Amino acid sequence: MMRTVMYLLCVASVAAMSSAAVTYVDAVFATGHGGTPNTFLADGGAAVPTSTGDTVDGLWRYRTGFGIAPGTAIQPTGTITLTSSCTVYEGTGNSSPSDNVPRVVTTASVPSGAYDVYVYFWIDQSGSPWRIRAGLVNTVEPLELFTGSNTFTADSEPIAWVASDSGGPRRLMRAYLGQASGTSISVYVEDAPATNGNERTWYDGIGYTKVYNVPNSPSVTPVNIDGSVGTLLNDTEAEVTLQFNAGADPNNAVNPKIKKHYVYLSAANDANLPAAPTFTIDQIGTDPAISIGPLTLSASATYYWQVEEGITDPNGGVYPAGTADNYWGLVWSFKTASPACTISAVNPPLAAVPQGSAAVLTVAGTNITNYQWYKIGSPDVMLANDGKYSGAATGALTITDVQQSDEGLYYCVASNSTSQASNRDTGPGHVMIARLVNHYPMEVINSGVTPDVVGGADMVLHTNGRAMPALAAGVVGTSALSLDTAAEPLGQYGQLPAGVCDYQDLTISAWVYWKGGLAFQRLFAFGNDDTHFIAFSPNIFGSSATFTIINTSEQNVQTYSQLLPSNQWVHVAVSLNGDAGRLYINGVRAAVNTGMTHDPIDFRPSLNYIGRSLVAEQAYFDGMIDELKIYNYAMTNTQVAQEYIAVRGGYVCDADGTDSLTYDFNRDCRVDLADFARIATDWLNDNRIY
């Protein structure tokens, strides 16, 4: 953002080719160059000039020994002596390669009014086409080009010859940039890249002279932080007030001839002004400040306006609107405020994708004109379209070829002209490779902790009495975790860190030796309280093994009339895949519910217990647990079965496929010779009655 408070430096009275005096302001880039800096990079920050002899491309070069001394009267003809008291900056001095210096802006504070504005630059009398690009508006396109040589061009005028100690005589040039009004003047300057070493840009400073009679110093209030104006009334309307100063003359704050102000205001987003004035205001007294409003205009729209000063006619009346003899101001413009933007949480909240595939994250919102995606880090990283990412400035981000280094949290910042909204803290999206994220082999206990050998989310063991959980003989490896209510009637349990269950789809599996006992024991319960949790119980109401999700309302996957087998090692797995919840016992899908719309990521469990319920009065788990695993995706029937078979061997029937085996008479999950033999025993038997 440009600085708004600058200083007038090295000020001299300059007699222009016209009779009006021009105030000269020396451009100063850096401290020690003859005054306080008043020139900065146009896109913000300090302009960093190089030393006199530096030939590095892309930087302005500070030239010493060339400049106009403060107080020097510069005449259209004659010779003056250079001084190092003020500054000259060289933009293009080399041709191999050519410079392309950054655009800068020089700003001067002025009394409120209208001004003709000039830029000052130097040329070489030898005839080389020295030049400069300058303008009053920070355009996207290159600024207007002004050139000078010993045969002067029409777009600039010679001011004075200057005798130089070396390099031949120089001449100061002045180019008219246009009219500006208000309490500050800003001139944007850049070079025109050279094709040879003689095509140079020597920038000296800016100048201004007061313009009378015309309306000036426009403002539209209130001004928002982004430069738009107006107070939003609703999603479609904004309220603004127009203000300007009446034209002055050299002796009066308001020219006495000005009797009326004809104000022309365009329609929304229409650069054409109306033929007739939108408002007519009488000039009363000598106060130059004129205000119109508040006005209700369209939000998020650009408007154009112009003021015509109605002056006294020869008969003592006032010239009507549209008369050439009236004093006409410039056409001004403004943009009204946009409604505040909103943004949704990233969807999906978790994208667990196969390694090497793509993840797509999307957001929605209102009143958004710009999007920008980031990855949370130290610091956060702003993403750009670079092959890895596409759509970085849209509502849909695609991350290609996802690898483990791409895992993390991603968020989007939405903005419009007056506001921005971010879901960094309220709903980032988590990208992960679909994989095993936590694995507890239950082989060791160190200082009350049994480790997570994959994710580092170690399990901390607890007791409500004196006896801590211990290790016992397991089904995989040598050990399992023993939670023994006989050894500790007050209960033993483990606790996992927050975040281990923050998924949309997931699988949790374990080998379980349940000793039976009271209902509502929990193999695990991950949640925040007794109305927000995900849990598995080997015995609900004494009738079924149950996988439960409660997010205020309750959803279950139940075996019905089948408890988890007790006093034996059993492989248990539960999964969520979209709206489908599944419960597996010994590798076989034992139950399914396709109406499981709750997901753990909806409430992000923070209290993650093993062997304990979140409901205080419910019983603690009594038994052993081995090979507890958490996956960030829903395993298939085949994958769950293979996890079981890897320990027990044999085969598992796919419960989703058995109904299609019409001729599997012995229900061994395949149609083979044994099934054919059963058919053959009845071959040609005839029980028809005729």
pLDDT given at position 77 = 45
Q: What's the average model confidence in pLDDT over 445-457?
A: 97
Tell me if 683 is assigned to some domain: yes
657 or 681, which is more confident: 681
Q: Check whether 605 has a pLDDT greater than 90.
A: yes
pLDDT given at position 541 = 87
2 or 493, which is more confident: 493
Q: Check whether 409 has a pLDDT greater than 80.
A: yes
Q: Check whether 497 has a pLDDT greater than 80.
A: yes
User: Is 641 strand, coil or helix?
Assistant: helix
Q: Is the domain of 467 the same as that of 611?
A: yes
CATH number for 170: 2.60.120
Tell me if 7 is assigned to some domain: no
Q: Check whether 686 has a pLDDT greater than 90.
A: no
538 or 193, which is more confident: 538
pLDDT given at position 7 = 22
- CA–CA distance, 560 with 38 (Å, rounded to integer): 81
Domain residues for the domain of 77 are: 12-211
Q: What's the average model confidence in pLDDT over 542-552?
A: 94
Q: Is 262 exposed, middle or buried (0-12, 13-18, 19+ CB in 10 A)?
A: buried
Q: Categorize the per-residue pLDDT at 211 as very low, low, confident or very high, splitting at 50, 70 and 90.
A: very high
The share of the chain scoring above pLDDT 70, in percent, equals 86
Q: Is the domain of 224 the same as that of 155?
A: no
Q: What is the 3-state secondary structure (H, E, C) of 282-307?
A: ECCCCCCEEEEEEEEEECCCEEEEEE
The chain-wide mean pLDDT, for the chain, equals 87
pTM over 0.85: no
Q: Is the domain of 118 the same as that of 249?
A: no
Q: Categorize the per-residue pLDDT at 78 as very low, low, confident or very high, splitting at 50, 70 and 90.
A: very low
Q: Is the domain of 604 the same as that of 501?
A: yes
Assess contact for 573 and 586: CB atoms under 8 A.
no
Q: Check whether 298 has a pLDDT greater than 90.
A: yes
Of the residues 379, 396, 424, the one at which a domain ends: 424
pLDDT given at position 666 = 73
- CA–CA distance, 184 with 5 (Å, rounded to integer): 8
- Residues contacting residue 181 through CB under 8 Å, at least 6 positions apart: 112, 113, 114, 115, 214, 216, 217, 218, 245, 330
- CA–CA distance, 195 with 175 (Å, rounded to integer): 23
- CA–CA distance, 425 with 502 (Å, rounded to integer): 15
Q: Tokens 């009679």 correspond to what residue?
A: 213
Of the residues 285, 306, 335, the one at which a domain ends: 335
The share of the chain scoring above pLDDT 90, in percent, equals 64
Q: Is the domain of 365 the same as that of 288?
A: no
pLDDT given at position 173 = 79
Tell me if 4 is assigned to some domain: no
Q: Check whether 154 has a pLDDT greater than 50.
A: no
**How much of the chain is helix, strand and coil, in % rounded to 5?**
5, 45, 50
Top-ranked range on mean pLDDT: pick from 45-49, 151-155, 162-166, 386-390: 386-390
pLDDT given at position 22 = 80
Q: Is 344 exposed, middle or buried (0-12, 13-18, 19+ CB in 10 A)?
A: middle
Tell me if 6 is assigned to some domain: no
Q: Is the domain of 59 the same as that of 40?
A: yes
- Residues contacting residue 305 through CB under 8 Å, at least 6 positions apart: 218, 242, 263, 264, 265, 266, 273, 331, 332, 333, 334
Q: Is the domain of 372 the same as that of 470?
A: no
pLDDT given at position 670 = 83
Tell me if 134 is assigned to some domain: yes
Q: Is the domain of 183 the same as that of 196?
A: yes
Q: Categorize the per-residue pLDDT at 66 as very low, low, confident or very high, splitting at 50, 70 and 90.
A: low
Backbone φ, ψ for residue 551 (5° rounding): -130, 75
Q: Is the domain of 506 the same as that of 562?
A: yes
Q: Check whether 69 has a pLDDT greater than 60.
A: no
Tell me if 252 is assigned to some domain: yes
Assess contact for 464 and 606: CB atoms under 8 A.
no
pLDDT given at position 658 = 57
pLDDT given at position 346 = 96
pLDDT given at position 123 = 79
Q: Categorize the per-residue pLDDT at 16 as very low, low, confident or very high, splitting at 50, 70 and 90.
A: very low
pLDDT given at position 657 = 61
286 or 21, which is more confident: 286
Q: Is the domain of 204 the same as that of 226?
A: no
Assess contact for 6 and 109: CB atoms under 8 A.
yes
pLDDT given at position 20 = 57
- CA–CA distance, 436 with 430 (Å, rounded to integer): 16
pLDDT in tens, 95-136: 554 568 899 999 999 998 999 999 988 877 666 778 899 999
pLDDT in tens, 338-385: 888 899 999 999 999 999 999 999 999 888 889 999 999 999 999 999
Q: Is the domain of 584 the same as that of 533?
A: yes
Of the residues 335, 367, 400, the one at which a domain ends: 335
Tell me if 430 is assigned to some domain: no
What total of structural domains would you count in the chain?
5
- CA–CA distance, 583 with 544 (Å, rounded to integer): 12
CATH number for 309: 2.60.40.10
- CA–CA distance, 170 with 127 (Å, rounded to integer): 10
pLDDT in tens, 457-479: 999 999 999 999 999 999 999 99
Q: Categorize the per-residue pLDDT at 586 as very low, low, confident or very high, splitting at 50, 70 and 90.
A: very high
Q: Categorize the per-residue pLDDT at 314 as very low, low, confident or very high, splitting at 50, 70 and 90.
A: very high
Tell me if 3 is assigned to some domain: no
Q: Is the domain of 415 the same as that of 284?
A: no
pLDDT given at position 398 = 98
- CA–CA distance, 43 with 31 (Å, rounded to integer): 20
Lowest mean pLDDT of 74-88, 459-473, 525-539, 560-574, name the range: 74-88
Lowest mean pLDDT of 169-183, 260-274, 335-349, 593-607, name the range: 169-183
pLDDT given at position 570 = 98
- CA–CA distance, 177 with 139 (Å, rounded to integer): 14
